[in-house]
Amino acid sequence: MVPSFRKFLGMAILVVFVVVYALVAMVIGDMSLQNSGTGIRMTYFAIAGLVWVFPAGAIIWWMEKGGKSKT
């Protein structure tokens, strides 16, 4: 795959992933933690706000690995 296309595709996937992840995390947090205390809700949203970094890092790694020459 051409490196510039790989980066474009990775960027598009990353944007869609972050938007969908944020919406799903909000809905899950809102629906399942309505009757929970403030500390539990804050903990959930803090963890959910950091977990997206790992898949995003994998997407960025995939975008960059195609651009390197093997010499």
Condensed to tens digits (0 to 9), the pLDDT of residues 34-43 reads 999 999 999 9
Place of tokens 């969908």: 20
pTM for the structure as a whole: 0.80
The residues, ordered by sequence, that sit 6+ positions from 66 with a Cβ below 8 Å of its Cβ are 1, 3, 6
Looking at residue 30, its amino acid is D
Model pLDDT, residue 4: 86
- For residues 18 and 52, the answer to whether their CB atoms sit within 8 Å is yes
Q: How confident is the model at residue 70 (pLDDT cuts 50, 70, 90)?
A: low
Segments making up each domain of the chain, as ranges? 3-65
Condensed to tens digits (0 to 9), the pLDDT of residues 47-66 reads 999 999 999 999 999 998 86
Model pLDDT, residue 67: 57
- For residues 33 and 44, the answer to whether their CB atoms sit within 8 Å is yes
Q: List % helix, strand, coil for the chain (3-state, nearest 5).
A: 80, 0, 20
